[in-house]
Amino acid sequence: MRVWMMALAALAGLFGAAGVGLAAAAAHIVGDTTLHTAADFLLFHAAALFGLVALMRAKAERGLLVAGSLIALGAILFCGDLAIRAMAGLRLMPMAAPTGGMLMIAGWLVAAVAAPWSLRKTGTRHLDA
């Protein structure tokens, strides 16, 4: 589990770097918003993955690992397809963007259940008052 958490943290950093790079490239491609969308999604999900990894580190929950994995895979498919389409006019694979979008949605839904569940079991009495 620890190795996968480290991989998700590394992916979060790569998503951030790729998001900035794609945003810079998008600034030079007039009229194509697809690259902007890919950049935004990578940057948003980079922050989300870092947050999930921090929560996983505090409380090792498999649900959080599943959520992070779904979000990461979804972002790779969705943003990868949009970026390749915008820059090369090609597709990553058939249905890559919609599949990636559905995986990201699924990851967020798993996070919506797993994050509160993991916090419930931490015993933070000082926050209950």
pLDDT digits (tens, 9 = 90+) for 54-100: 888 887 778 899 999 999 999 999 999 999 999 999 999 999 999 99
C-alpha span between 51 and 78 (Å, rounded): 20
**64: Cα within 13 Å, side-chain hemisphere:** 25
> Model pTM greater than 0.75?
yes
Contacts of 10 by beta carbon, 8 Å cutoff, 6+ apart = none
